[in-house]
A and B are shown apart, each in its own frame.
Chain A
Amino acid sequence: MSASFHSGSQPPLLYDGYRSTLRRAPSKPLIRLPAALSDLREPVHGWWPIGETDNDLTRQHAEEPQGQRIIVTGQVLDEDARPVTGALVEIWQANAGGRYRHVKDDHPAPLDPHFTGAGRTITDNDGRYEFTTIKPGAYPWRNHDNAWRPAHIHFSLFGSTFQTRLVTQMYFPDDPMFDYDPMFQSIRDDRARQRLVSRFDLAVTRPEWALGFSFDIVLRGDSATPFEDRV
Chain B
Amino acid sequence: MSEDTLVATASQTVGPFFHFGLTATPYDRLVDHFSAGTPIRLTIRVTDGDDLPVTDAMVELSQAGMFGRMATDADGRCEFETVHPSPATGHDAARRAAHILVCVFARGLLRHLFTRIYFRGDPALDDDPVLQLVPEERRHTLVAFPGEILDAPWRFNLRLQGPDETVFFNV
Contact = CB atoms under 8 A, between A and B. Distances in A.
Contacts of B14: 154, 156, 167
Given A102-B19, A162-B101, A167-B12, A30 B168 contact: yes
Contacts of A44: 62, 65-67
Interface of A is mostly: loop
A26 B20 contact: no
Size category, A interface:
35 or more
Given A37-B130, A46-B67, A167-B14, A79 B7 contact: yes
Interface string B70-89: 00000000000000000000
B39 interface: no
A169 B18 CA distance: 12
B111 interface: yes
A30 B11 contact: no
A12 B170 CA distance: 13
A32 B137 CA distance: 17
B8 A79 contact: yes
Contacts of A218: 6-9
A42 interface: yes
A45 B18 CA distance: 21
Interface string A182-220: 010011000111011000000000000000000001111
A81 B6 contact: yes
A15 interface: yes
30 contacts: A1-B1, A2-B1, A3-B5, A18-B108, A23-B49, A24-B160, A25-B161, A26-B168, A28-B165, A30-B168, A31-B133, A32-B133, A33-B130, A33-B171, A36-B92, A38-B169, A40-B114, A45-B65, A79-B8, A80-B5, A92-B21, A100-B17, A104-B16, A105-B17, A154-B18, A196-B9, A196-B12, A218-B7, A218-B8, A227-B111
For the complex of A and B, 3 pairs with smallest distance between CB atoms:
A92-B21, A20-B108, A24-B108
Given A13-B111, A30-B113, A77-B6, 6 more contacts: A9-B7, A24-B108, A25-B109, A118-B20, A187-B10, A193-B10
Interface of A: 1-3, 5-6, 9-13, 15, 18, 20-33, 36-40, 42-48, 77-81, 90-92, 94, 100-102, 104-105, 116-119, 154, 156, 162-163, 165-169, 183, 186-187, 191-193, 195-196, 217-220, 224, 226-230
Interface of B: 1, 4-22, 24-25, 27, 48-50, 52, 54, 56, 60, 62, 65-67, 90-92, 101, 103, 105-114, 129-130, 133-134, 138, 160-162, 165-171
